[in-house]
Homo-oligomer: A and B are copies of this chain.
Amino acid sequence: MVKTNAFYAQSGGVTAVINASACGVIQTARAHKDRIGKVFAGRNGIIGALTEDLIDTGKESAAAIEGLRFTPSGAFGSCRYKLKSLEANPREYQRLIDVFKAHGIGYFFYNGGGDSADTCFKMSQLSQTLGYPLQAIHLPKTVDNDLPITDCCPGFGSVAKYVAVSTLEASFDVRSMCKTSTKVFVLEVMGRHAGWIAAAGGLVEDHGIPVVILFPEIVFDQAKFIARVDTLVKQHGYCSVVVSEGCHHADGTFLAEQGTRDAFGHAQLGGAAPVVAGIVKDALGVKFHWAVADYLQRAARHIASKTDVKQAYELGKRGVELALKGHNAVMPTIERTSDTPYKYRIGMAPLAKVANVEKFMPRDFISADGFGITHRCKLYLRPLIEGEDPPRYRGGLPLYTTLKNFAVAKKLPAFEMK
């Protein structure tokens, strides 16, 4: 058995639990010192590999690595940078090989979403195309929950829990004020193409809350929407609306971009929530409030789902184990075997089938009228937000870990990013 170093990088938008996957990778690698030498992390994702800006995770204490399990965001820095194809950009691939060769790296762990799975797949082909022996394993991560094959993606369960809890709390607030004040509360959540995150807002129905969900999968029908809100407000005195940022009109334009201009003629910067709130006000004349959760939702480690944290860790761990077994071009997955009680096992998917495939909400997860979620969807969602796994606190604030992130000495000439 050959001993080789490993490279780990975080890619794309970070989450509340991507560092739990990093923790799983590093702790598992440390437990296999006979097979894995150093674990290098890319500073700011794949850019760290291209610029030979590597972090020596071996310099971090066991306590610091354990702290990653409880720390949101990307501890080594992430980036939005998609490698082109080998044909279009051979220079970058050659550089990656040079860096990996210089630092004795034989394992490539890439922690990201759909675009990253594509990059990881390209890297996995390098042993054949450029003759460099590299095992590339993709570790799933995306709040959007839109990767195929795996039942769910680490990061999603926690953002779903945040959205469900926030919707519940704000709805209780509106319920108590609706007699003389706000009657409609609008919460905008992430999800440009898939409505998984917005769907989580539907879970508050079980707590007696009237809620309308606006999915990217369902074309926005203003008249039907207003009628639904009106019915709920008449029935309950109030209602909540959870709108996905990707909610759009029949012609594909997002609700957020309805030609709004400021005093200087600039396009409005606003999101979908104020637009939806405005539509409600114009049609029904009721008082409204709106919130845009933005980064708060994906960074909210304090209210992370225990299921999600556990799976994020397990998939990081399994990624290393798959590499040690000789796998290449694969991604560990969650295979659900039962809803109630919730059971799953860790599976494996070939990256060729993961890269560039988006998974949307199945139509039978969305209610017939398009404004809610079905029982099937609830069965799917409930276990994913189950359990709490709070961080420790000091002085009222969570004790999140900031790593030292010591740089590895460079061995190669500088590389110019283009």
Binary per-residue interface labels of chain A (198-240) against chain B in the complex, 1 for a CB within 8 Å, 0 otherwise:
0000011011100000000000000000000000000000000
Contact of A290 among B281, B292, B395, B397 (CB under 8 A): B292
> Is there a chain B Cβ closer than 8 Å to A328's Cβ?
no
Contact A396 B305 (CB under 8 A): yes
Q: Contact at A396–B387, with CB atoms within 8 Å?
A: yes
Q: Which single residue of chain B is at the shortest CB-CB distance from A393?
A: B388
- Interface contact B400-A172, CB-CB below 8 Å: yes
Whether A173 and B14, one on each chain, are in contact in the complex, defined by CB atoms closer than 8 angstroms, is: yes
Q: What distance in Å separates the Cβ of A383 from its nearest Cβ neighbour in chain B?
A: 8
A185 neighbours in B (Cβ, 8 Å): 294-295
A57 within 8 Å of B (CB atoms): no
**Is A79 touching B181 in the complex (CB atoms < 8 A)?**
yes
Q: A176: which of B75, B203, B208, B386 is its contact (CB, 8 Å)?
A: B75
Instruction: Report how far A373 CA is from B384 CA in the complex, Å.
Output: 39
Bound-state Cα–Cα, A278 to B182, Å: 28
Contact A269/B277 with A181-B80, A382-B395, A382-B396 known, Cβ cut-off 8 Å: yes
Cβ contact of A161, chosen from B75, B161, B396, cutoff 8 A? B396
| A24-50 contacts to B (CB < 8 Å) | 44, 47
List residues of chain B with CB within 8 A of the CB of A384: 396
* Distance of A194 Cα from B77 Cα, bound (Å): 36
Which of chain B's residues have a CB closer than 8 A to the CB of A293? Answer: 291, 296
Q: Are A302 and B164 in contact, with the CB atoms below 8 A? A: no
Shortest A134–chain B CB gap in Å is 24
Q: Are A400 and B207 interface neighbours, CB within 8 A?
A: yes
- A172-B72, A396-B387 in contact; A295/B289 too (CB < 8 A)? yes
Q: Which of A94-102, A146-154, A255-263, A354-362 contacts its partner?
A: A255-263
**For the complex, what is the distance from the CA of A204 to the CA of B291, rounded to whole Å?**
22
Whether the Cβ atoms of B73 and A175 lie closer than 8 Å is yes
Shortest C-beta distance, A216 to chain B (Å), equals 19
| Contact partner, A278, options B13, B187, B262, Cβ 8 Å | B262
Q: Chain B: which residue is nearest A176 at the CB level?
A: B74
The docked-state distance in angstroms from the alpha carbon of A200 to that of B256 is 30
CA distance A47 to B179 in the complex (A): 9
Q: Which residues of B contact A266 (CB under 8 A)?
A: 278, 282
> In the complex, what distance in Å separates the CA atom of A396 from the CA atom of B19?
21
A176 touches B294 (CB 8 A): no
Chain B residues with CB under 8 Å of A390's CB are 388, 390
Give Cα distance in the complex from A76 to B175, angstroms. Answer: 10
Q: Which of A292-336 contact B (CB under 8 A)?
A: 292-296, 298-303, 305
Q: How large is the interface on A (under 10, 10 to 19, 20 to 34, 35 or more residues)?
A: 35 or more
A270 adjacent to B274 (CB under 8 Å): yes
B176 x A14 contact (CB < 8 A) = yes
Residues on the B chain within 8 Å of A269, using CB = 270, 274, 277-278, 281, 290
Residues in B whose Cβ lies below 8 Å from that of A13: 177
A268 lies within 8 A of B262 (CB): yes
Q: Which residues of B contact A182 (CB under 8 A)?
A: 295
**A407 sits at the interface (CB 8 A):** no
Chain B residues within 8 Å of A298, by CB? 173
Report the Cα distance A78→B173, complex, angstroms.
9
Other than the known A165-B302, A260-B268, A303-B303, what 12 A-B pairs have Cβ atoms closer than 8 Å? A13-B177, A73-B175, A73-B176, A166-B299, A169-B295, A207-B402, A208-B402, A259-B263, A262-B278, A291-B293, A293-B296, A390-B390
27 contacts between A and B (CB under 8 A): A47-B180, A72-B169, A76-B176, A77-B175, A79-B181, A161-B396, A169-B301, A169-B400, A185-B295, A207-B397, A207-B402, A208-B402, A260-B262, A261-B261, A269-B270, A269-B274, A269-B278, A269-B281, A270-B270, A273-B292, A290-B292, A293-B296, A303-B303, A305-B396, A385-B395, A385-B396, A386-B396
Q: Can you list the 9 inter-chain pairs with the closest CB atoms, starting with the nearest? A: A385-B396, A74-B176, A291-B294, A73-B172, A169-B299, A44-B179, A259-B263, A173-B299, A170-B295
